[in-house]
Structures are given as C-alpha cells and as structure tokens.
Amino acid sequence: MNPSSTLGRAKISTRFTANVRLCYMDYPNAEELLPAYAEFMKTILTHPRFGNGSMANSTKRLSTFLIDLYTQVKQKFSVDEHRHYLFTPRDITTMIFSMLRYEIPEAQTLIEILIYESNRVFKDRLVDREQKKKFDGILYGCLKNHLKYQEKLIDTYFISLVVKGNESLIPGLPSLGRIGKTDFVSMVESAMRAYEREFKELDIHLIEEVLEMIAYIERVLSMPGGCLLLAGRSGVGRKPAT
C-alpha cells in the first residue's frame, strides 16, 4: 500500500478509523522478494529466445542484483526529497518483464539490457545530474558486486525501428534492437531530412542528450497505449525530439 502522502491520496479521518478495524501490509523485504523474482527470471530465461535457456542457472544472481539495486535506490532517493521518488517492487517487475522485448543471445547482452532498463526505470525519474551521477555509482557498484561486471554502457541505444516488424514475446508489443551511436545518428538525420522536405525545417543539433531523448521517447511510444510526461525548462528540446 502506498502512504497517504502519495499523490492522489488523502488521509482518512480519525473519526472513521476509530470505528473500524485496520489492516496494513508493508512491502516485502529483500529476503522475501528473492524467491519470487528468481522464479520470474527463471521462467523468462528458460525460453529459447534467451540463449536457448543457457542463462537460466544465473537467475539467483540476477535477481539479487535487481533487488539490491532497488533497495539502495529506495534508501538514497526518498519522497522527502521529491514526491515522485516513490520506488516499489513494481519497478523490479517492470524491468524483468521489459526483457521480453529483447532478443538476448548471450550473458553480456543480458547485462547490458538490464543496465539500460535500470536507467529507464530509475534514473529517468531523478531530477538533476548530481543525483543521476549518484545513481550511476549505485548501479555499477551492484554490477561489480553481484555480476562481476565493470564495463559501462555508452553510445548504445535500443529502439524498435531496428527490428521493425518483429514482435516481442508479448503479443502486440514490438521488439527492441540495439543500435550504435553512428548508425543512430544516420537514421535520425535521414528521418529529419524526410520530415523537412514535407513540412518545415528542424533546428535540431544531434548532441548526446537529444539522441538519448529521442531513443527514450521512441521506446515508450512504440508500446500500445504508451505515454510519458516530459517535464523541463522551455527550450531543452522536448517538442522537437518528440
């Protein structure tokens, strides 16, 4: 259950609560979450699309990594700082089921996708560069401790246009494919030229932040009913990127 301070909720009158019985259920702790998410991961990783099931033996380590990451993020970033810093086990569930959108032939690709999804689920909700830098420290610390992985994911994007026409394991949901920065810039420039011929000139400089925003927006809008809130100062490129 979310606390009464959550957006969209209000405190119940004490005159009412004094006359009824109350039952409160807190979120499970890390030890209780591990068996549930290990089973989720095992079910997914035994599918032939994920290295023909060769990664299923790593489900406990992967689940421990995700739970530790969630626990540390929840401790470092609280609703006392910003109201939308409300992290719950549903975020772990979102990351695990997002794996169904990818083709994962080997362990390194799996780790890179977990890094990418962790950034989308947690990092994109943080409000400034200092807090995002702090999150990077938490993320790569967990990777080093649990998965013995020390490489950083840079100049890499995952978009649906790379594997256009291929469905993921979730019916109606397009797959996401990997693309490097050079190829992604060429793809965006080609799309911009086509748009400018038909409509108007776009004054967009394809710096790293703009490329990231385009990839993030495409990831969300490629989902049926996908939506997102772009909050920021005027002139940062939200409308042109969309």
How confident is the prediction along the chain (242 residues), in pLDDT tens digits per residue? 555 556 667 777 888 888 888 787 788 888 889 999 999 888 888 888 887 777 878 889 999 999 999 999 999 998 888 888 889 999 999 998 888 888 888 888 899 999 999 999 999 899 888 999 999 999 999 999 999 998 888 888 888 887 765 666 777 778 888 889 999 889 888 888 888 888 887 777 888 888 888 888 888 888 777 777 777 777 666 666 66
- What CA–CA distance (Å, rounded) separates 16 from 9? 16
Q: Residue 11: inside a domain, yes or no? A: no
Residue 80 and residue 43 share a domain: yes
Find, among 129, 222, 233, the residue nearest to 170 by Cα.
222
- What CA–CA distance (Å, rounded) separates 92 from 95? 5
| Distances, alpha carbon 70 to alpha carbons 73, 77, 95, in Å | 5, 11, 11
Q: Residue 213: inside a domain, yes or no? A: yes
Domain boundary among 97, 120, 155: 155
DSSP 50: B
- pLDDT at position 51, please? 77
Q: What are phi and psi of 167, to 5 degrees?
A: -90, 150
Q: Which residues pair with 102 in a beta bridge?
A: 176
- pLDDT at position 63, please? 93
Residue 210 and residue 130 share a domain: no
Q: What are phi and psi of 104, to 5 degrees?
A: -125, 95
Q: Residue 164: inside a domain, yes or no? A: no
- What CA–CA distance (Å, rounded) separates 82 from 93? 23
Other Cβ atoms less than 10 A from the Cβ of 234: the count is 6
Q: Residue 160: inside a domain, yes or no? A: no
- pLDDT at position 160, please? 84
DSSP three-state, residue 104: strand
- pLDDT at position 235, please? 65
Q: Which residues pair with 156 in a beta bridge?
A: 180
Chain Cα centroid distance, residue 141: 18
Looking at the structure of the chain, the number of domains it has is 2
Residue 142 and residue 213 share a domain: no
- What CA–CA distance (Å, rounded) separates 141 from 160? 30
- What CA–CA distance (Å, rounded) separates 44 from 49? 9
Residue 119 and residue 190 share a domain: no
Q: Residue 165: inside a domain, yes or no? A: no
- The DSSP string of 155-177 is SEEEEGGGGTT-B-SSTT-B-BE
The boundaries of the domain holding residue 186 are 179-224+236-242
Give the residue ranges of DSSP H helices in the chain. 14-17, 30-45, 59-76, 89-98, 107-121, 129-142, 181-198, 208-221, 238-241
